[in-house]
Amino acid sequence: MSIGQLARGRTPAPARRAAAHDPLLVAAALVLVAIIVIALLGPLLAPYDPDQLYAGAVSAPPSLAHPFGTDDLGRDVLSRVLAGARPSVAGPVLVVAVSTVLGVAVAVASAWFGGAVDGIASRLVDVIFAIPGLVLAVLAVAMFGKGLLAPVVALSIAYMPIVVRLVRAGARAELGRPYIAALRIQGVGSLAICFRHLLPALLPAILAQATVGFGYAMLDIAAISFLGLGAQPPASDWGVMIAGGQPALLTGAPEQSMFPAALIVLTVLAVNIVGARTTTWAEAKDR
Amino acid sequence: MSAYAIRQLAAKLGGLLLTLLLASIAIFFAVALTPGDPVTALAGGVRPTPELIEAIRAEHHLDDPVWMQYLRWVGGVLQGDLGTSFVYKTPVAELIAPRIGISLLLVAYAVVLITVFGIGSGILAAVRGPRTDRAVLIGTSIGVAMPTFVVAIVLIWVFGRVLGWFPVYGTGEGLLDNLYHLTLPAISLAVLYIAYMSRITRGAIVAQQHAEHVDTARVRGLSPSRIFRRHVLLNASPQILAVSGATIAGLIAVSAVAEQAFGVGGIGSLLVEAAARKDLPVVQVLSLLLVTVFVVLNAVVDVAIAIIDPDSVKSRRSA
């Protein structure tokens, strides 16, 4: 067992046992697994072609043939919701992945080098922090045109500062610990210390932040699509579907908006519950 | 305020100006480097002749170096010249002026709701015993997953189709009618932040209730209501205030969603429309405006915290 492993302590078995006695966490995890499966297999699970128009059933109420009803063009809402899971989940996953990788790189570099690198990095982070994510996303759409690419790139940048602040603080604390000095004395290289000891120690906090970030990113991207700036009709993206179903709310066919909206809320709820537990676990591990 | 606190605030102000400067550079250059020739947009749909291109380039100083264009833009903005819309061909200031009032009213309305219900329910959860606490916890857990557009469609369905108590579209005439029309947009904007503020407030108060100085006050025999006001709430307020500032600042950006959902003709829906039509001068100015408000509000909150609790400046600095 290396010095690093000793310092970090073993995997907390009590945390795993607690999870088994936490029905809310189990339910949230099941919801997330279901959403991931739908996102991967969505179009295969759909009973109808999500883009097929059924002229005989325009804005039809839920029935056995169409359990979630049909939309204003006669498309099956259930099939569209299932097919829409993939773009609705892929966007936030990309945002979290890119902002986490960039954020961790900047944070570790500024904690490691300190001085001017740290100064420039924190000024950069301050400036990005001053531009709300939604504004940056709208700005990106104005520049590069409507679609999911521009908002995803913009939000990846907008979500970076919070990762940098969190990881930088954690990295500085970790680098101050005696075992890092011991590793250096042993002649372990900088990169090896970063990748084999520092990053694994920070991983719980990074994962907790990524989980919470996914929820926010999902809401932001859905908002952009709802505004008509993200995914474009006739795409079966959840945000687009909510906006598309808005007129039908007043004519008595609320399912068209409500089903995709409910899925977004359910996903974010589940992510928040898992995120809160991961945060508690990361904090417990820190002590 | 101590000399130390004043120095800290001066540093803060300098940082604020630097941040605004860098943000304005970022916004300008991002747009200046946008793919596509601005001449096409400025010509407004007609196929420009070489003479027209020449005239447009001269009129908008497009042949100047890009940093000259930046200085001209910032100088203009500081003097109230916000540029001209590509789409409407009117000054951007004339587009913003009639719309800014309704947006401010919407945000103010939402802020009142958030303060009353968010901080109020947070206090109740902290002091009213475990049953209230549990009820508020469940409510806020759902609330933090309810974004503006979801609340908006639920409200439009419930009030537009089922109940019909509040209008679900437009802004109305006159202040009272405006407020009436803005009720549902303000609620849709507020729900998520009410849940969030409630949690922060409860956490800040519970942390204070178990603090040593509160135990001391209890031992001294002070009345519970006095202890709560003077010792618990006052000491919890910096943290509550810090989060409120960031919340309100974020609200201004999200108000675009509420405006769009309920057909409110404010600057939020103007921004969305301008982005969709690539009306870059409008997008530039509105982004800069939102960023400025965001940064200034956060700074104002920092100053307010320093006045309430001068020690926090020092302790937060060293933390």
Contact A127, B26 (CB under 8 A): yes
Encoded tokens for B111: 């802020």
Q: What pLDDT is recorded for position A95?
A: 94
Q: How far is A260 from chain B (nearest CA, A)?
A: 10
The yes-or-no verdict on residue A171 having pLDDT over 90 is no
The answer to whether residues B109 and B235 belong to one domain is: yes
Domains, chain A, ordered by start: 3-285 (1.10.3720.10)
Residue B145 lies in a domain: yes
Query: Is residue B60 within 8 angstroms of chain A, CB to CB?
Result: no
pLDDT (0 to 100) of residue B136: 85
Test mutation, B16, B153, B259, B283, chain A, max A CBs within 10 A? B153
Residue after which a domain boundary falls, among B23, B49, B78: B78
- Rounded to 5°, the CA angle B81-B59-B70 comes to 50
Confirm or reject contact between B62 and chain A (CB < 8 A): no
Given CB atoms, is B261 within the 8 Å cutoff of chain A?
A: yes
Domain assignment present for residue B84? The answer is no
Tell me which residue has tokens 């759909």.
A46
Same domain, B202 and B116: yes
Q: Tens of pLDDT along A5-30?
A: 444 444 455 555 555 677 888 888 88
User: Which of A142-156, A237-251, B53-67, B258-272 is predicted with the least confidence, judged by mean pLDDT?
Assistant: B53-67
Q: State whether residue A61 sits within 8 Å of chain B by CB.
A: no
Region of poorest pLDDT, from A95-104, B42-51, B262-271, B294-303: B42-51
Residue with tokens 């829906």: B269
pLDDT of residue A273: 86
Do residues B240 and B119 lie in contact, with contact meaning Cβ atoms separated by under 8 Å? Answer: yes
Q: Does pLDDT of B316 surpass 50?
A: no
* Cα angle B247, B283, B77; round to 5: 90
Residue B53 has pLDDT above 90, yes or no: no
What count of CB pairs under 8 Å joins A to B?
139
In angstroms, the CA B235 to CA B251 distance is 26
Q: Are residues B203 and B243 in the same domain?
A: yes
Same domain, B71 and B193: no
Quick one: average pLDDT of B181-197? 89
Cα A88-A91-A93 angle, rounded to 5 deg = 105
Question: Per the domain annotation, does B72 fall within a domain?
Answer: yes
Task: Measure CA B171 to chain center.
Answer: 20
The predicted pLDDT at position B310 comes to 65
Asked if residue B140 lies in contact with residue A269, where contact means CB atoms within 8 angstroms, the answer is no
Confidence of residue B47 (pLDDT cuts 50, 70, 90): low
Binary contact (B291, A132; C-beta < 8 A): yes
Residues A228, A220: Cα–Cα separation, whole Å: 13
**N- to C-terminal Cα separation, chain B:** 20
Helix (H, G, I), strand (E, B) or coil at A99: helix
Are B228 and B292 members of one domain?
yes
| B97–chain A Cβ distance below 8 A for any pair | no
What pLDDT, on a 0 to 100 scale, did the predictor assign at position A156?
A: 93
Looking at the fold, whether B104 and B244 belong to one and the same domain comes out as: yes
* Residue B318 maps to a domain: no
| Domain-located, residue B206 | yes
Nearest to A278 by CA among A210, A219, A201: A210
In-domain check, residue B116: yes
B287 and B191, same structural domain?
Answer: yes
ipTM of the complex: 0.80
Query: Which residues are CB-contacts of B199 (< 8 A; sequence separation ≥ 6)?
Result: B122, B140, B144
Q: How far apart are CA B103 and CA B182, in angstroms?
A: 10
Peptide linkage before A234 cis (omega within 30 of 0)? yes
For residue A123, list chain B residues with Cβ-Cβ distance below 8 A: 18, 22
Report if residue B212 sits inside a domain.
yes
Lowest mean pLDDT among A49-58, A171-180, B146-155, B225-234: A49-58
Long-range pairs, A152-155, Cβ under 8 A, ≥24: A152/A91, A152/A94, A152/A95, A152/A98, A152/A221, A155/A95, A155/A99, A155/A217, A155/A220, A155/A221
Share of residues in chain B with pLDDT > 90 (%): 5
- Closest-CA residue of B relative to A230 is B276
Quote the pLDDT of residue A94: 94
| Residue in B20, B141, B157 to test binding to A, most A beta-carbons within 10 Å | B157
Work out the average pLDDT over B181-195.
89
Residues B19 and B141 in one domain: no
pLDDT of residue B317: 40
Q: Are residues B26 and B141 in the same domain?
A: no
* Strand ranges (E), chain B: none
What is each CA distance from A130 to A154, B12, B23, B121, B272, in whole angstroms? 14, 14, 8, 29, 20
Contact B208, B231 (CB under 8 A): yes
Residue A4's pLDDT is what? 45
DSSP-assigned beta bridge partners for residue B91: B84
What is the span of the domain harbouring residue B298? Answer: 92-313
Residue B191 pLDDT exceeds 80:
yes
Q: What is the mean pLDDT of residues A226-244?
A: 83
Distance between B281 CA and the closest CA of chain A, angstroms: 10
* Contacts of B168 by beta carbon, 8 Å cutoff, 6+ apart: A250, B155, B156, B159, B160, B184, B262
Considering its fold, how many domains does chain B have in total? 2
B253 against A30, higher pLDDT: A30
Residues A273-283 have a mean pLDDT of 80
Is the pLDDT at B115 greater than 60? The verdict is yes
Could you tell me which residues are beta bridge partners of residue B84? B91
Q: Which carries the bigger pLDDT value, residue A61 or residue B97?
A: B97
Interface of B with A in 160-219 (CB under 8 A): 160-161, 168
Highest mean pLDDT of the ranges A36-45, B145-154, B305-314: B145-154
Which of the given ranges, A142-146, A246-250, B120-124, has the highest pLDDT on average? B120-124
Task: Tell me the shortest Cα–Cα distance from B191 to chain A, in angstroms.
Answer: 13
Last residue of a domain, one of B53, B78, B103: B78
Q: Give the dihedral of Cα atoms A162, A167, A172, A178; nearest 10 deg.
A: 160
Q: A261 to chain B: which residues are within 8 Å by CB?
A: 149-150, 153-154
CA distance B127 to B130: 9
Please write the tens of the pLDDT for every residue from A255-266. 777 888 888 999
Contact between chains at A227 and B145 (C-beta distance less than 8 A): no
State in Å, rounded, how far the first CA of chain A is from the last one.
Answer: 20
Closest-CA residue of A relative to B274 is A142
Is B31 an 8 Å CB contact of chain A?
yes
Q: Tell me which residues of chain B, numbers 138 to 167, contact chain A at a CB-CB cutoff of 8 Å.
A: 141-142, 144-150, 153-154, 156-157, 160-161
DSSP per residue over B88-110, as a string?
Answer: T-SBHHHHHHHHHHHHHHHHHHH
pLDDT digits (tens, 9 = 90+) for B20-45: 888 888 888 877 777 666 666 666 55
A153 touches chain B (CB under 8 A): no
Inside any domain, residue B87? no
Question: Which amino acid, one-letter code, is at A23?
Answer: P
Same domain? B110 vs B229: yes
Which letter does DSSP use for residue B36 in this model?
S
| A269·B250 Cβ contact <8 A | no
Q: Which of B55, B78, B101 finishes a domain?
A: B78
* Contact between residue B171 and residue B181 where contact means Cβ atoms under 8 Å apart: yes
Task: State the Cα–Cα distance between residues A251 and A246, nearest whole angstrom.
Answer: 10
Residue A155 confidence (pLDDT): 92
Q: What is the pLDDT of residues A55-95, one digit of tens each?
A: 666 666 777 666 777 777 767 777 788 878 888 888 999 99
Indicate which CATH number applies to the domain containing B142: 1.10.3720.10
Q: Say yes or no: B200 and B278 in one domain.
A: yes
Hey, what are B31's tokens? 């747009």
> Which residues on A lie below 8 Å from B27 (Cβ)?
131, 139
What average pLDDT does this structure show over B289-310?
81
Contacts of B14-20 with C-beta under 8 Å, sequence gap 24+, read B15/A126, B16/B295, B16/B296, B16/B299, B18/A123, B19/A126, B19/A127, B19/A130, B19/B295, B20/A130, B20/B291, B20/B292, B20/B295
Task: Round the average pLDDT of chain B to a whole number and report it.
Answer: 80
Q: Which has the higher per-residue pLDDT, A4 or A138?
A: A138
A83-97, B84-98, B158-172: segment of lowest average pLDDT: B158-172
Same domain, B203 and B305: yes
Higher pLDDT, B63 or B73: B73
pLDDT higher than threshold 80 for residue A105: yes
How far, CA to CA in Å, does A72 sit from each of A77, A238, A251, A256, B156? 10, 15, 11, 8, 17
d(CA A29, CA B239): 32
The DSSP letter of residue B161 is I
